Structure 1
Amino acid sequence: MLFRSSVRESFSWYFPVMQPRSLPVEPAVVTPRRRPSTPLSVIYADALYRPVPPVEYDDEGYPGPDGRVSESTRHAEASNYCFDALRVWFRDQPGTLVANDLVMLFEKGNPKAALSPDLMVVFNAGNPDRSSYKVWEEGDAVPAFALEVLSKRTWHKDVRVKPGLYAALGVREFWLFEPFEPRLAGYRLDGREYTRIRPAAGGGLPSRVLGLEVIVEDDRIRFRNAATGEILPDHVHADAMRVEAEARAESAVARAESAEARAESAEERARRAERRIEELLKR
């Protein structure tokens, strides 16, 4: 089923690192005229992911891992943080797939009908080892959440072309993050239209899919637990927290051992005193 993906309320961002003019980041999607049988891969041909050689193909000829490299350290940091943080967030839900840069194929028999979100979350998909995600082998389950981290090479496709395909596939939330001049926008599928997600009282953008708020802190994309106000840590922060917790535990053990030693010393002094008293009484 094709979702007509118009977007309410346009606005603009300015990306000086990309082009010296204002670029519309509100996904401006024009639904092309089509015959009912026209595949999405034809309608949204410009949105498709083109694997980067060398490409690994499975036995059926579908693409998997390829030779892509990170656009920049900022791009990699954003993608890796989101992947690591959400893997931890959903650790008690083994059926939830969190994947970054995994090729998603959405038309059986067409190896070119592919997307590769910087991050996607699919519920009830499980976590077996995959070289690609084939929608027709997953009960037609598409991502509930998709994030694209913009770059100089891909921003136009991410902003102007992909939203229509994501909406047509039924992706419930679509997010854009620009890491150089940090900007964040989230969109929710409302019927057949993407609508912009408005900030919550605390300033974060609420993701109903994740049960988290998405924010920009210190120019970095971050996830925040709205119930506690805690930001999901990145791996560096998590490791620092682990080291700090271990240090506190070691300090607690040392204090306990010191207290035990003092108690033993006091008991020994008491016993010596008792023996001395007994000796005096015997005289």
Structure 2
Amino acid sequence: MTISLDCERLYPDSDGQPMADNTLQFRWIVLIKENLELLLADRPDVFVAGDLLWYPVEGHPEIRVAPDALVAFGRPKGERGSYKQWEEGNIAPQVVFEILSPGNRSGEMSKKQQFYDDYGVEEYYIYNPDRNNLQGFCRTEAGLRAIEEIQNWTSPRLGIRFVVTATTLELYRPDGRGFLSFLELEQRAEQADQRAEQERQRAEQADQRAQQERQRAERLAAQLRALGIDADS
């Protein structure tokens, strides 16, 4: 118990900073993190998290960062208070996302970029929803380097495609489906349920009509037999 408490004190699960500075930033963080969860739901060896402290070096709790979203291939799903890399097979998250708010400063973001470069991130994406500006960095032999043409860029690790329109960022899964909010997913589920119910009602009505036709045919056949006429001849 003492060891656990000491570890919690040494590597706290919170840095005391809010997850987001405003509703727009929060909405984008949730959108990306939850859609990545859906995309990788059938991969038990891929861990996805949002606003989770990442400690890359044992014994140095001051070296830490909390990406808005991270993806670690080769790590099992499950709950964590923080991502301690030495307890994760020394696997660094390969993909990280940051969503900017007006409170973010260029110096702060430069330090984060250097952190991700130093500790092995393969892909780093930054989106500023207020300015509708997307930047991306991909690892080369020389380290993280800016993606020169980010429009229609496809993530090597995730397979998702980035499209910047005149007003917003759109993200697409490998199968072409777009990232959707909880509300949009619920609305589509309701629409699918409504279509299914309409199809069920149409099928039921068709069965009723067919049954009525059979009943009419049977009554007609009975009337003909009563008159001595063989309806089958």
Q: What TM-score does the superposition give when structure 1 sets the normalisation length?
A: 0.73
Q: How much does 1:204 deviate?
A: 1.5
Following the alignment from structure 2 to structure 1, what is the Cα–Cα distance between the partners of residues 60 and 146?
Answer: 32
Picking from 80, 85, 90, the partner of 2:40 is: 90
Contact 1:122–1:145 (CA<8 Å) still a contact in 2? yes
**Which residue in the other structure is 2:12 paired with?**
63
Change in CA separation of 1:66 and 1:167 when aligned onto 2, cut-off 3 Å:
closer
Following the alignment from structure 1 to structure 2, what is the Cα–Cα distance between the partners of residues 140 and 231?
Answer: 33
Contact 2:39–2:173 (CA<8 Å) still a contact in 1? no
Q: How much does 1:172 deviate?
A: 0.4
Picking from 152, 171, 176, the partner of 1:223 is: 171
Gaps of 5+ in 2: none
Picking from 101, 115, 120, the partner of 1:151 is: 101
| Percent identity between the two aligned chains | 26
Picking from 58, 78, 84, the partner of 1:108 is: 58
Picking from 256, 259, 274, the partner of 2:221 is: 274
Following the alignment from structure 1 to structure 2, what is the Cα–Cα distance between the partners of residues 155 and 244?
Answer: 43
Picking from 174, 195, 210, the partner of 1:263 is: 210
**Which residue in the other structure is 1:214 paired with?**
162
Q: How much does 1:59 deviate?
A: 4.2
**Which residue in the other structure is 2:131 paired with?**
181
Q: How much does 1:276 deviate?
A: 0.5
SS of the residue corresponding to residue 115 of structure 1 reads coil
Following the alignment from structure 1 to structure 2, what is the Cα–Cα distance between the partners of residues 214 and 207?
Answer: 8
Contact 2:47–2:78 (CA<8 Å) still a contact in 1? no
> What amino acid is aligned across from residue 120 of structure 2 in structure 1?
G
CA displacement 1:40-74 (0-9 Å, x = unmatched): xxxxxxxxxxxxxxxxx954121114653321111
**Which residue in the other structure is 1:18 paired with?**
none
> What amino acid is aligned across from residue 128 of structure 2 in structure 1?
E
Q: Does 1:75 align with 2:25?
A: yes
Following the alignment from structure 2 to structure 1, what is the Cα–Cα distance between the partners of residues 214 and 166?
Answer: 56
Change in CA separation of 1:104 and 1:273 when aligned onto 2, cut-off 3 Å:
same
> What amino acid is aligned across from residue 215 of structure 1 in structure 2?
V
CA displacement 1:3-26 (0-9 Å, x = unmatched): xxxxxxxxxxxxxxxxxxxxxxxx
SS of the residue corresponding to residue 232 of structure 1 reads coil
Higher relative contact order (Cα pairs below 8 Å, separated by 6+ residues): 1
Aligned residue pairs: how many?
A: 223
Following the alignment from structure 1 to structure 2, what is the Cα–Cα distance between the partners of residues 267 and 73?
Answer: 61
> What amino acid is aligned across from residue 264 of structure 1 in structure 2?
Q
How much is the aligned-residue C-alpha RMSD, in angstroms? 2.0
Following the alignment from structure 2 to structure 1, what is the Cα–Cα distance between the partners of residues 173 and 58?
Answer: 38
Following the alignment from structure 1 to structure 2, what is the Cα–Cα distance between the partners of residues 268 and 281?
Answer: 20
**Which residue in the other structure is 1:3 paired with?**
none
Q: What TM-score does the superposition give when structure 2 sets the normalisation length?
A: 0.88
Q: How much does 1:78 deviate?
A: 0.8
> What amino acid is aligned across from residue 211 of structure 1 in structure 2?
G
Gaps of 5+ in 1: 1-56
Following the alignment from structure 1 to structure 2, what is the Cα–Cα distance between the partners of residues 238 and 88?
Answer: 11
